[in-house]
Structure 1
Amino acid sequence: MSDAPKMRYETWRALALWGEEEEAAALEVLRSRSLFRYYGPDLRHRTDAFEAAFCEVTGVAHTVAVSSGTAALTAAMIGLGIPPGAEVIVPGVTFVGSVSAVVAARGVPVFAEVDDSLTLDPAHLEERITGRTWGVMPVHLNNVAADMGPILEVARRHGLRVIEDAAQAAGVSYGGRPVGGLGDAGAFSFQLDKNITAGEGGAVTVSDADVYDRVARYQDQGGQFTTSKGATRGTGDHPPFVGANLRMTELTAAILSAQLPRLVPMCRRLRDVARQVRGETADLPIRWRRLPDEDGSGGDLTLFLDSRLQARALVADLNAAGIPAHTMYQGQPVTANRAVREGRTPWGVEWERPPRLRTSEALLGRSVTIGLGAAMTDEDVDALVIAFRKSYQDITRAQ
């Protein structure tokens, strides 16, 4: 165990910066008694305003606010017209919600390896394409954008739809462009530990007007939700269809809107913290996670050790020193989930057991992620560097 001075800091991002703005926004909606986005005694139209503001942040023409990140992924694929049974390639390192969304859209997930960025390996993506492949879902993991240049090149060459899972990457960019606007559709989550949060919530970002129309209608009962005044959702240019209820509330939108001005500066600050830590430990033989676009990341400190045993030892030592650290997804790819492994869905077994993703397993199992918090002070960062240096040296020498 490290004998460095103990430190304590929280790894919350948006939540760490909550204050009077969120309280005022929530109270405004509560006092209006109009929590539903379409009507009420004193409707404030906060969901409409959030959608417009999020378009500005992501650089897209259209945003549809929904109830969760998984709902956003599902609605995005429905909006893009996924056929029943179509295959969608998903990286093996992701949250199970990526797979859940494919299943909810009646698609079939196909799993591909990640590379040392812990995001989708463009070379293995191409190997997994078959005549049944309809789309690909690159995941921007832990505030690092996937390597979208080669991914998009492969996808366009094979005529695949690209659905960006940006649940963990609001405010992150790639090649100077915000994630969520690089493929055919993007999906964001606003769950509690995300870059902006209302505890739950999500958003779909698209540029194509017809796709937007389908997404907007699907998450709103197919566009056939009729208010007491007879209003409906959708342009009316396309035949109606039965959809789902995945709507965002006015309260959620108001709380999220209060945080949007802080999003990009917060990501910049966390990116600078990560750079400082890497820079001040540059004399050590650390193998850091590769960042496809370091300038656009939102702050990630992930390194690879020589073995799973060494990674577990470093996590334990860092935690003992007061540094929040973990191995993402407990070192297991999403295919380790029993339901995913066995292809079990609510309507039966839909796919055969996927092959082992040995590269992904090896990389993930040997990884250690150090959590960074939006409220970290310069003193916290200095203490982190000292404690991390000692733990890393102690563990790697001992092993």
Structure 2
Amino acid sequence: MTAPEPRYEPARALALWGEEEIAAAVEVLRSRSLFRYYGPDLRHRVDAFEAEFSAVTGVPHTVGVSSGTAALTAAMVGLGIPEGAEVIVPAVTFIGSVNAVVQARGIPVFAEVDDSLTLDPERLDELVTERTWGIMPVHLANAAADMRPIAEVARRHGLRVVEDAAQAAGVHYGGRPVGGLGDAGAFSFQLEKNLTAGEGGAVTVGDPAVYDRVARFQDQGGQFTTGRGGDRGASAEAPFLGANLRMTELTGAVLSVQLRRLGPMLERLRNIARHVRRETADLPVRWRRLPDEAGSGGDLTLLLASRLEARQFVAALTAEGIPAHTMYQGQAVYANRAVREGRTPWGVAWDRPARCRASEGLIGRSVTVGLGATMTDGDVDALVAAFRKAYEGLAPAAG
């Protein structure tokens, strides 16, 4: 007899899903025009979402695509990454960051993170070689990477900066939205994200020439003759072959509805996180450092003294009904065998990477407490009580 599937508790955008999303999707279904470029009654929902998302991010151009990984790939292609070029990626990230570098025919180089669990700017210079093309800071778990010093390293070495904002739609750094702080930004709209249609992504760019390349790449290269006899796409640049990474009208319609809720939702989650921190200020908690706490999307991640304590803390919170986990099961991204061995669809592309031991130590001791967009004040009080109980339960072991 197989064990039942664990119950999935909607957290952020999905928790707010309602009749508006259903109505938006039904409108597209009734139009019979689910393809973004033409149909019997095209509603231009992807076009509308792209314009709305550009307004939210403050970046002139947005291209809706099929996933966050697709967005990262298209962003690097749009910026002209040469084949075999190196891209510096944090050791603590989702495997999609690495897959995107591979799909863009680049080589990932793994960098240490600091106690923000994002790229350590002080360790970047040592990784730059004549083959380095760019840096991919990851805005991890709704907290921005420390972009000012990262951008300074990039300027000093003439490198491109591609922001992986898959987990951070609506997050700010220094008063500016992420996705507009580097040369390009990439977002995900997968089920657990701040905006969700189950899947989807977006690229944000300021340079119109880069925008042209991204838009063409995700649409089969953008220069071809359709089955209806017309051409779609034209550019002054020489034509090139692309991929099919297009966003559907259903996705665009649902995301436009959710975009209106993004700001208020993140403000509520930030307030919850601040409240929990205040209510536990008497405990010697080492919180994850946030480069811009005011702009975060509501993060509650702490660093325990050891992996054992982290496991105990997760177990204690879970026993109280509070969702908690250690990020990526306490493993750096190169713990994945294919990443570790450099195995791509085209063969082995890099040697076994050096271990980022500081990053491994930090991620293994991390505990993230889940926050939900529909949490009531009573839910927050219960979270605080469970947190205190779990933390105080560590005292005998710590003593």
What band does the TM-score fall into relative to the shorter chain? over 0.9
For residues 1-399 of structure 1, what are the structure 2 equivalents within 5 Å? 10=9, 12-227=11-226, 228=228, 230-234=230-234, 236-399=235-398
One-letter amino acid matched to 1:242: L
TM-score scaled by structure 1?
A: 0.96
Q: Say which SS state the counterpart of residue 393 (structure 2) adopts.
A: helix
User: Aligned partners of 1:30 and 1:363: how far apart in 2?
Assistant: 47
User: Aligned partners of 2:299 and 2:352: how far apart in 1?
Assistant: 32
Distance apart, 1:17 and its partner CA: 0.2
User: Aligned partners of 1:354 and 1:375: how far apart in 2?
Assistant: 42
> 1:307–1:360: structure 2 CA closer, same or farther, 3 Å change rule?
same
The runs of 5 or more residues in structure 1 that have no matched partner are 1-7
User: Aligned partners of 1:225 and 1:368: how far apart in 2?
Assistant: 50
Distance apart, 1:233 and its partner CA: 2.2
Deviations 1:215-269 (A, max 9, x none): 00000010124332513124x2111100000000000100111100101111111
Distance apart, 1:127 and its partner CA: 1.2
Q: Say which SS state the counterpart of residue 287 (structure 1) adopts.
A: coil
The runs of 5 or more residues in structure 2 that have no matched partner are 1-6
User: Aligned partners of 2:93 and 2:180: how far apart in 1?
Assistant: 20
One-letter amino acid matched to 1:391: A
User: Aligned partners of 1:372 and 1:64: how far apart in 2?
Assistant: 30
User: Aligned partners of 2:314 and 2:170: how far apart in 1?
Assistant: 28
One-letter amino acid matched to 2:65: V
| 1:166/1:189 contact within 8 Å kept | yes
User: Aligned partners of 1:47 and 1:281: how far apart in 2?
Assistant: 44
Aligned residues: 391
TM-score scaled by structure 2?
A: 0.96
Deviations 1:166-198 (A, max 9, x none): 000000000000000000000000000000000
Point out which structure has higher relative CO (alpha carbons under 8 A, 6+ apart): 1
> 1:9–1:352: structure 2 CA closer, same or farther, 3 Å change rule?
closer
| 1:145/1:174 contact within 8 Å kept | yes
> 1:9–1:27: structure 2 CA closer, same or farther, 3 Å change rule?
closer
> 1:310–1:11: structure 2 CA closer, same or farther, 3 Å change rule?
farther
Report % sequence identity: 77
Deviations 1:85-108 (A, max 9, x none): 000000000000000000000000
One-letter amino acid matched to 1:398: A
